Amino acid sequence: MLSFYQNNELYADTIKFLKLKKMTSIIKYFKAFPLILITFLQFNSYSQNDYLIKKYSQLVFRESPYATYKGAISLSMEKAKTMRHYAFKYDTNNQLIEIQHKLGDLPYTAYGMEQNLMFPCSKVKFEKLANEIHVSFFDHNNLRIEVNGGIYTAKYKLQDDASPKTLTFYDKQGKIKENNHGISNYEWLTNDSVVIEKRYNLEKELMPLRPNFLFFETHLTYDKSGYVKRMDNYGKNGVLENNESGVATDEIFYNEDGIFVGWKVYDSNGNKVTGNLPNVHHGKNIVDGYGNTIIDEYFNTEGKQMMNYQGLAKTINSFDAFSNVIEQKRFTIDGWNQSAPIFKLLYDQSQRLKEIGAFDIKGKRTTFPQQEVAFFRMQYYNESGYLKEQAFYDKNEQLLNIAALGGGARVIHNYKGAKRIRSKIYDAKGVLLQTVER
């Protein structure tokens, strides 16, 4: 699991903006049929249009868009009414046509630590054509939106066996577009059980897996369940090699439910090494019955606990009944990290994130590391549910002017449809400092 700051897209996006820029007999068979039917209907539902709906608490880990979306940990229809989940919708040909992130029966938009790297919005739709699949993205109001740096449509071209051959991103005007990782298109070749992936920008330059994950040509090995279990870095010259952190291979592990539970890294000779963010050899996740990560731990090449690049050996996360993260504690090898606050998250009645705050071990407000900010709050428009305001506060719960905001303390956003068109920055006294047109 990534750190609080890496996961907290809401916070990171705010700061970036503020800096401005898962028969033995016939009789026995028919006696059992009602039970079989009841069990099936508990976990599957048909709509009036004969669409099959399946609900899962998590998505299977998906490092590459080559892999199809899969759900992990099936939920009954009744249970899904009480928590956040993913609803998979299939047509009469058992073709996946839609996935929606939901809270009970309502569409849900994830913010902060609940966001999923490969599921960037409330709903994703899939349109199957002859030899293509077109993917489009929607918010919680069912308005089509751009994601991941302006991507409006993602188009797969398929092999004869229906496996992906290429993926290209497009903007709203239909022009090829780079995503927020600088990638405009993917190309895949299959060699036995290995998928060879190359990623390019608009200049046809080979791009890394992610900006902070420097695997270039990447060989992906999938298991019989379709889960990626190994990734090898073949660099820019098609040869297995170490990246800048000394890593050539990343092994990935899952539990029996298909939940990602850890990884280990090795060099090009198969030796255990530390490297890749978060700069450890072995990352281990302990999850609850719904696949939520409750403990992250890090280990060195000798199997002993170690600290990652942030000085943390372990984090402990707490969740509420809706599967919302409500607290994160961070530890060094010696115990609770005195320099790392306890993060607490609060939600409104619609289960939208409304506050993230830093607290010390005694429960008193403190500040985020290397900042004066003690907490920040979010407000939403009542009708649309879009983020309306973000405000920053000090330990005394007073509005705080911060340098990252150019001396501002509050940001108010305006929208046209689903698109944010304007953001206004105010200082603690309510003076308008700047208006940013989008």
For the stretch 17-53, pLDDT in tens is: 433 333 233 223 333 434 433 444 455 665 546 799 9
Distance CA 127, CA 299 (A): 43
What whole-number distance in Å separates Cα of residue 167 and Cα of residue 109? 25
> Average pLDDT over the chain, rounded to whole?
88
> If pLDDT is split at 50, 70 and 90, which confidence band does 339 have?
confident
Query: Nearest-CA neighbor of 327 among 302, 356, 369?
Result: 356
pLDDT of residue 59 exceeding 70, the answer is yes
For residue range 390-427, list pLDDT tens digits in order.
999 999 999 999 998 899 999 999 999 999 999 999 99
Please list, in sequence order, all residues whose beta carbon lies within 8 angstroms of the beta carbon of residue 51, skipping any fewer than 6 positions away.
89, 90, 91, 92, 97
Per-residue pLDDT tens for 83-119? 999 999 999 999 999 999 999 999 988 755 455 567 8
Res 10: pLDDT: 43
Task: Name the nearest CA neighbour of 331 among 310, 304, 303.
Answer: 310
Per-residue pLDDT, 192:
77
Q: What is the mean pLDDT of residues 223-241?
A: 96
Greater model confidence, 22 or 180: 180
pLDDT surpassing 70 at residue 141: yes
CB-CB neighbours of 145 under 10 Å: 19
Of the listed ranges 113-122, 203-212, 253-262, the least confidently predicted one is 113-122
pTM of this structure: 0.86
User: Counting runs of H as helices and runs of E as strands, what totals does the chain give?
Assistant: 4, 28
Could you give the CA distance from residue 10 to residue 345 in angstroms, rounded to a whole number?
13
Greater pLDDT, 34 or 152: 152
Structure token pair of residue 99 = 């996935």
Would residue 362 be called left, alpha or beta, if left means φ above 0 and alpha means ψ between -120 and 50 degrees? Answer: alpha
The predicted model gives 342-368 an average pLDDT of: 92
Candidate from 17-31, 48-62, 178-192, 258-272 with smallest mean pLDDT? 17-31
DSSP 3-state of 104 = coil
Share of the chain above pLDDT 70, in %: 87
